[in-house]
Amino acid sequence: MNNMYNGYAFNSDEMDEIHIGLEKGLDVSIYANPEFNDYQMHQIRLGLEDRLDVSVYADPKFDFFQMDEIRLGLKDGLDVSIYANPKFNDYQMYEIRLGLKDKLDISIYADPKFSDYQMDEIRIGLKDGLDASIYADPKFNWSQMRQIRFGLKDGLDVSIYADPKFRCDKMYQIRLSLKDGLDVSI
């Protein structure tokens, strides 16, 4: 098999993506570029097949996982400009995309200073109608955020333990004690 296309040498997997695109009548010039690997080419080809604006993610600065998240957002009709940025990893993009799908105010967590696990805790709190701003702070790790979220969900006064100086296990014990109506002041 000739591994040349438009003067560039491609491996067999990349040539397969080009060949499939040509068979489907797609403009393969968008992805027949040696800067893309076959996985990136695949994501671009899928977007072209779905008649999406692949220019949003047809850029070598995005890995194929990031491309997939952007493509899925475009497919769902979401405003991907919020997360179509290489400063977000694919897991962060996923959390933002889920929030957009659920029509949540993702502005509270669509920030690379939050890990994907932190974003998940904030998103779940928002989805549950909780005041996630109480724990939407990168000073809290995701497990601390979870304990605060659980407390909010139980209707507890989380201000007693919503402090980054408390480890997650301490927060857990305080939360359970509050839930049982115990005096936690000591």
Q: 84: burial class by Cβ within 10 Å (0-12, 13-18, 19+)? A: buried
* Cα 36-40-43 angle, rounded to 5 deg: 145
The C-alpha atoms of residue 96 and residue 89 are separated, in whole angstroms, by 11
The pLDDT score that the predictor gives to residue 8 is: 77
- Model confidence at 91, in pLDDT bands (50, 70, 90)? very high
Q: Could you tell me if 66 and 90 are in contact, meaning their C-beta atoms sit under 8 angstroms apart?
A: yes
CB neighbourhood size of 21 (10 A): 22
The C-alpha atoms of residue 55 and residue 7 are separated, in whole angstroms, by 23
The C-alpha atoms of residue 131 and residue 137 are separated, in whole angstroms, by 13
Q: Could you tell me if 59 and 45 are in contact, meaning their C-beta atoms sit under 8 angstroms apart?
A: no
* pLDDT at residue 7 tops 90: no
pLDDT in tens, 111-165: 999 999 999 999 999 999 999 999 999 999 999 999 999 999 999 999 999 999 9
Taking each helix axis as running N to C, give the angle between helix 12-23 and helix 38-49, from 0 to 180 degrees, rounded to the nearest 10: 10
- Model confidence at 9, in pLDDT bands (50, 70, 90)? confident
**pTM assigned to the model:** 0.92
The label of the residue with tokens 């701003």 reads 133
* Cα 53-101-147 angle, rounded to 5 deg: 135
* pLDDT at residue 1 tops 50: no
